């Protein structure tokens, strides 16, 4: 995991990222505090790029792909950041020999196998839970457990939107190409369970839809986030364009723009603070409360409102007698109105006393303070991981860069895996 942030106003944009990369092994996970996540994308241009999520894409480190692209676009310039992003994505699609069919087949195998492995673990957990209250479990009961999973996943994936970059008419070709592979993986992971032919067929359809759709409830372990940031040649204010990339499906790059993390400065929008990956401490700083605790408070308040009629009924028989179905419906409607009013009031106070003042100040910050704020917010996330019982998935040196129209891409802090004094030629090349 990682923590990254983009903070920008009309003058400049600051990027900050930690250096942790988490690697999974059969026996557990290990965190290496040495990853590079911020890059100057175009030589001598005010354009940067950040990566988060999976540190590799289709087997290649992101750093390698970015630097190959930069070498091939040594003299390139683009009118807008989004056009630069489109060119980079097109480079991934069209560069000869980088992503052969074997690599694409491996991606599909990993994606489907990962889903099947999670499903097998879910069935095993349900069986263990059942056996806590029963001496044994029948094949019929196991088939019932799987049937409920099939029903849930069929409903979920059928409602997930298709990915614009992967045309829907690709589905028959995908089925013809990978049906045999998916069946083999299904038998490998779930073959030991008693499963009806109809449920097996329905689940095979679910597995066949995974590479073709985007489902917010399903976090693929191979998904990478890429962030393009800076100024296009015609842009006077900074722009951030964020995308999620997953892999290739029959030669089509599977990606989607992340509109919730894309933003641009304009005359009516003076500043923005956009966190990426692990962002709870940034939200706490901006809103005065961590998102998980905020959600807990609202959830418990809603539950309390729902319980109130029964609580009064236990204390007063007259109230109990009056709690007819129409009365309960009227109380539920009134409770929802109270909850909505509470939510609106909290939102107003949060905006007025926490978020708005910070955003207003950020709009006037000079470059140095933008960089300091970006570094501090990433450092705050790292500090929390270090002093709590959570895995230190945000750690290591924090890299910081500032991008402005006049000065271009400027490193404020940058780690090296070598002693810079022993490599003067390399260091000099960074500032050409």
List Cβ neighbours of 40 (8 Å cut-off, separation of 6 or more).
Answer: 47, 48, 49, 70, 401, 409
List Cβ neighbours of 149 (8 Å cut-off, separation of 6 or more).
Answer: 119, 122, 123, 203
Structural domain contains residue 323: yes
pLDDT at 115: 92
Structural domain contains residue 354: yes
pLDDT at 145: 94
Structural domain contains residue 170: no
Sign of the C-alpha dihedral computed for residues 23, 50, 218 and 389 taken in this order: positive
In angstroms, the first-to-last Cα distance of the chain is 33
Structural domain contains residue 352: yes
Structural domain contains residue 355: yes
pLDDT at 310: 84
Structural domain contains residue 412: no
pLDDT tens, position by position, for the chain (432 residues)? 689 999 999 999 999 999 988 776 556 667 788 889 999 999 889 999 999 988 889 889 999 999 999 999 988 899 999 999 999 999 999 988 889 999 999 999 988 998 999 999 999 999 999 999 999 999 999 999 999 999 999 998 888 888 888 887 888 899 999 999 999 999 999 999 999 999 999 999 999 988 888 876 565 667 899 999 999 999 999 999 999 998 898 989 999 899 889 999 998 889 999 999 888 899 999 999 999 999 999 999 999 998 888 887 887 887 778 888 888 888 889 999 999 999 999 999 999 999 999 999 999 999 999 999 999 999 998 888 888 877 777 788 999 999 999 999 999 999 988 888 898 888 777 655
Structural domain contains residue 125: no
Residue 182: φ, ψ to 5°: -65, -40
Q: Which domain holds residue 332?
A: 291-359
Structural domain contains residue 276: no
Q: How many domains does the chain have?
A: 1
pLDDT at 92: 94
């Amino acid at each position: 995991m990682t923590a990254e942030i983009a903070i920008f106003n009309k003058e400049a944009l600051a990027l900050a990222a930690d250096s942790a990369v988490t690697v999974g092994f059969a026996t557990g996970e290990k965190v290496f505090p040495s990853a590079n996540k911020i890059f100057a994308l175009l030589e001598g241009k005010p354009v940067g790029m950040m990566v988060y999520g999976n540190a590799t894409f289709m087997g290649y480190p992101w750093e390698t792909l970015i630097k190959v692209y930069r070498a091939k676009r040594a003299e390139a310039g683009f009118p807008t950041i989004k056009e630069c992003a489109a060119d980079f994505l097109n480079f991934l699609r069209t560069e000869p020999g980088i992503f052969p069919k074997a690599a694409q087949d491996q991606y599909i195998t990993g994606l489907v196998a990962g889903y099947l492995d999670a499903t097998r673990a879910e069935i095993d957990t349900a069986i263990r839970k059942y056996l806590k209250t029963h001496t044994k479990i029948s094949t019929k009961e196991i088939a019932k457990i799987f049937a409920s999973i099939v029903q849930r996943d069929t409903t979920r994936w059928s409602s997930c939107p298709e990915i614009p970059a992967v045309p829907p008419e690709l589905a028959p070709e995908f089925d013809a190409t990978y049906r045999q592979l998916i069946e083999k993986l299904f038998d490998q992971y779930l073959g030991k369970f008693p499963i009806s032919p109809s449920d097996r067929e329905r689940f095979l359809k679910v597995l066949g839809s995974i590479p073709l759709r985007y489902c917010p409830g399903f976090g693929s372990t191979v998904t990478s986030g890429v962030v393009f940031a800076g100024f296009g040649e015609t842009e006077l204010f900074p722009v951030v364009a964020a995308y999620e990339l997953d892999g290739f499906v029959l030669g089509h790059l599977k990606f989607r723009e992340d509109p919730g993390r894309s933003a641009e400065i304009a005359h009516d929008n003076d500043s923005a603070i956009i966190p990426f990956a692990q962002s709870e401490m940034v939200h706490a700083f901006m809103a005065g409360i961590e998102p998980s605790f905020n959600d807990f408070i609202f959830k418990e308040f809603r539950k309390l409102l729902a319980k109130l009629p029964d609580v009064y009924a236990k204390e007063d028989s007259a109230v109990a007698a009056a709690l007819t179905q129409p009365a309960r419906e009227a109380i539920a409607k009134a409770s929802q109105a109270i909850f909505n009013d509470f939510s609106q009031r909290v939102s107003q106070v949060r905006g007025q006393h926490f978020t708005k003042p910070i955003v207003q100040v950020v709009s006037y910050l000079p470059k140095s303070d933008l960089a300091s704020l970006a570094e501090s917010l990433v450092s705050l996330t790292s500090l929390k991981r270090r002093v709590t019982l959570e895995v230190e998935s945000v750690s290591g040196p924090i890299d910081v860069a500032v991008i402005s129209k006049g000065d271009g891409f400027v490193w404020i802090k940058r780690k090296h895996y070598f002693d810079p004094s022993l490599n003067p030629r390399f260091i000099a090349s960074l500032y050409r």
